[in-house]
Homo-oligomer: A and B are copies of this chain.
C-alpha cells in the first residue's frame, strides 16, 4: 500500500511558507506501515490540480491533500475536487453548525455569519466529511477507482488534528497493512565514509526485506534499518541479529539506539527518570537550547530555566562571570563557558548546568577566536568539562551544531555520573 502527499499553495512554491505538513503526514503513515511513495507541492491552479489528481489515480492507494480550503478566492481545492469527481457542492448542516459555533466563540458576538463563512460548510455531495475540530474547513474523503483522496486544510494544527483523530484511525480500521519496523543506530565521532568502509560486508549481508540508510549530520551518523513484512516476529528477530553483529564491528562509536526519538526527548526521559535537573546559560545559541529542551511536554520536571546572556554586561552582572576572566581569556573561551555553566547551575539550583559561548558570525565580537568557534561547558555536581569546537560557517549551522553538541555532552555526563 502506498500514499502520495500533495500540498497545494502558491506560497509554498515561491518559498514564502515552509511545508511541514508533508513530514507530519509521512511519519503518521510510516507508523501504520503505509509507504509514502512521493510528496508533491503544486500551485493553486485548476489545471495543475486536475492534472495531478488524474496522474495519481490508480497509481497510489491514498492521496493526502493539504491546502487550498480557506474561505478566500485563491483557495480552489474544494471546487476543483468537486469538478474532478463530477460532483456538486452541497451544504453540510453539521459543518455549518460547527462553523457558526466557532465564529460566535471567536468574535464573542451572536452576529450573523458572512457568506464566506457559510460557504465553508459546502462539500462535494459524494464526500464523507471528516470533522475538523480546530477550524472551520472540513476534511473530505472521496474515492475514485482504486484511490482514496483525502483533503485537509493546510493550517498545520488543523491538519494534525484531522490526521491523528480521524484519518489514521479510519485507515487502521478499514484497511489491512504490513508491518514496518525502523531501528536507528546512533553513532558518534566517525565520518560517514570510514563508517561505510568498516561495515561494508555487514551491509552486503542484509536480507532484501531490511533496508539500510545513512543519515549524517554534523558530528554524527545515524544508521537507519527498516524491515517490512507480514510477520512481525520474523522482522524483529532479523533486526536484533543484525544489530548484534554490527555492535561487534563498530561498538565503540555506537552511542545508542532510537526509535524515532530526538536527542532532547531521550535526554528528557533520562533526566526525568533519574530525578535530575538542568539549567542553561546561553550566549551565541541565543535561547535555542532552552527552546529545544522545552519543546518536550513535561520538561518543567527537569528543566528550571536559562539565562540568555547575549551581552557581556549580562554575563558579568547576571551570570556572575568574572570581569577578570573575560579580560584575560576573552568572552569566547573555555574559562567563560565554564563559569557560565557552573554559575547558572548554582544560581538556578540545579544538578547540571550548560554554558555556551562562541562566535556564530557573520561578524566576530571582541575576541581573538575566529568565526565558528564555540566553547561548551557542562557543570556537574562534581566537575566542569569544557570543550572547544570549530563549527565553521554559516551562522545557522554554528548555532545548530552548538545546540546538538551541548545536548550530547550533557547526555554523556548523565550516563557517566549516575
Please list the residues of chain A having a beta carbon within 8 angstroms of any beta carbon in chain B: 10-20, 22-30, 35-44, 48, 70-75, 106, 114-117, 134, 155, 157, 160, 182, 191-194, 196-197, 203, 211-216, 224, 226, 260, 280, 282, 285-291, 293-295, 297-300, 303-311, 313-314, 317-318, 347-349, 361-363, 365, 392-397
Contacts and interface: CB of A to CB of B under 8 A. Distances in A.
Q: Most chain-B Cβ atoms within 10 A of its Cβ — which of A13, A224, A305?
A: A305
B71 A196 contact: yes
Q: What are the 7 tightest A-B residue pairs by CB atom distance, in nearest-first order?
A: A287-B290, A286-B294, A15-B27, A15-B26, A287-B287, A306-B308, A39-B41
A147 to B, nearest CB: 18
Interface SS majority for chain A: mixed
A114 B17 CA distance: 41
B40 A26 contact: no
Nearest to A362: B297
Nearest to A284: B294
Contact of A193 (B48, B71, B216): B71
B294 A287 contact: yes
A193 B214 CA distance: 47
Contacts of A114: 193-194, 197
B287 A117 contact: no
A192 to B, nearest CB: 6
B314 A304 contact: yes
Nearest to A306: B308
A295 B197 CA distance: 38
Given A14-B226, A192-B72, A213-B74, A43 B37 contact: yes
A43 to B, nearest CB: 7
A70 B214 contact: yes
26 contacts: A10-B226, A13-B26, A13-B35, A14-B27, A14-B30, A18-B20, A19-B22, A19-B23, A38-B42, A38-B48, A39-B41, A70-B214, A71-B192, A71-B193, A106-B191, A157-B394, A286-B294, A286-B295, A286-B303, A295-B396, A297-B363, A300-B365, A303-B311, A313-B348, A317-B347, A318-B348
